[in-house]
Amino acid sequence: MRLRWTMVAVAGAAFLAVFMLLRWGGVFDERKLVIGVLNHAIVAEEALDGFKSGLMALGYAEGGRVTYLYRGPVTGPALEAEAERLAGLRPDLFLTLSTPAAKAAFAVAKDTGTPLIFAPASDPIAIGLVNSLGRPGRNATGVTFGIQEPVRLQWLKTMLPGLKAVLVPYNPDDPSPKASLEKIRPVAADLGIRLDLALARNVAELDSALGGMAPDVGAVFVPVDAFVASQVPRMMLTTLARGVPLTTPQRGGVVDGAFMSYGLDMKALGGQGARLAAQVFGGVPAGDLPVETAEFRLVINMETAGRLGIQVPDHILRQAELIRAARGDDGR
């Protein structure tokens, strides 16, 4: 009997010793997750803020369960180089902000098997990120946008009935604005609006496009273009001086002073991406998660409207979110 109790005691002590060793070694701790972030333009950092906040609310706090590998926006060949660097660090997830970033990361993620969340990417089927929106199937999913660009042009025409010509600066190296242009061309034709397209791969080309606006241009229409949309404060200097309203594809542009937008709230979009990422961390393959469509809203900067002498009808104001001042003055 004494021998039996001795054996039980020894076995119990051994089990306790193994448990403590594993516990101190971190085996029973929650697994730490690493997210590699690839971004093409500073405007998309609002989506990263929304993603981080969304993941934190779901129990994945930065510095706790999650570490982010992010060096800031990169463009051109540096984008592909940064994707390769991140892939070499073997993150648990790629988060890409903008279509060029999604393409660059997907090129390396498909070889490593790393799941990818894009927040956002335009037309992910056309650029090869997913097989379909309902069942992506390529270890990637995320948030895209729908028909907001034609609707934004229609809203602009409604508020500016005499609009005849619009300047559209865009980066030809980004597939997103090209997709935007395909969507708005037929609508512009139906509305009797001439589209003056201008290449804007960098700030020099953007400045040249703005400086060379035709006299009858009545608005500057920024397509879904991460680079150009990041230059709202720069564009405001010219557009306000010329008395020409500026419209952007994202709410943040209106907060920065643009006249209006019917488009994305980048922080909310980032939160959508976070919900998808949490499901991936929970064991759901990214390719099984349907691609979500971003939510859109009509946003008007009332201070800018006043400076441009634009009277927005009350029935439109009742449908819009109203920004009373530019960023820095309204506390946002």
Q: Check residue 332 and give its pLDDT.
A: 38
Please tell me whether residues 117 and 199 are part of one structural domain: no
| Helix or strand run (H / E) with residue 151 | helix 148-159
Angle between helix 148-159 and helix 175-191 axes, rounded to 10 deg: 40
Asked if the structure places residue 166 within a domain, the reply is: yes
How many angstroms from the chain centroid is the CA of residue 20? 45
**One-letter amino acid of 290:** P
Please tell me whether residues 114 and 124 are part of one structural domain: yes
Place of tokens 């085996």: 27
Please tell me whether residues 64 and 213 are part of one structural domain: no
Question: Residue 255 sits in which domain range?
Answer: 148-265+296-323
Q: Check residue 11 and give its pLDDT.
A: 46
Which residues have C-beta within 8 Å of that of residue 74, sequence separation ≥ 6? Answer: 38, 39, 40, 81, 82
- What CATH number does residue 302 fall under? 3.40.50.2300
Please tell me whether residues 51 and 121 are part of one structural domain: yes
Q: 63: how many CB neighbours lie within 10 A of its CB? A: 8
Please tell me whether residues 55 and 164 are part of one structural domain: no
Q: Check residue 295 and give its pLDDT.
A: 84
Question: Rounded distance, CA 144 to CA 47, Å?
Answer: 13
Which residues have C-beta within 8 Å of that of residue 134, sequence separation ≥ 6? Answer: 290, 291
* Contact present, 91 and 317 (Cβ < 8 Å): no
Output the average pLDDT for the chain.
Answer: 89
User: Whole-prediction pTM value?
Assistant: 0.77
pLDDT tens-digit series, residues 71-84:
999 988 899 999 99
Q: Check residue 7 and give its pLDDT.
A: 46
pLDDT tens-digit series, residues 104-144:
999 999 888 999 999 999 889 988 999 999 999 999 999 99
* Contact present, 325 and 154 (Cβ < 8 Å): no
Angle between helix 99-112 and helix 175-191 axes, rounded to 10 deg: 140
pLDDT tens-digit series, residues 12-24:
444 444 334 333 4
Asked if the structure places residue 155 within a domain, the reply is: yes
pLDDT tens-digit series, residues 217-250:
999 999 989 899 999 999 999 999 999 999 999 9
For residue 30, name the pLDDT band (cuts at 50, 70, 90). low
Phi, psi of 312 (to 5 degrees): -90, 125
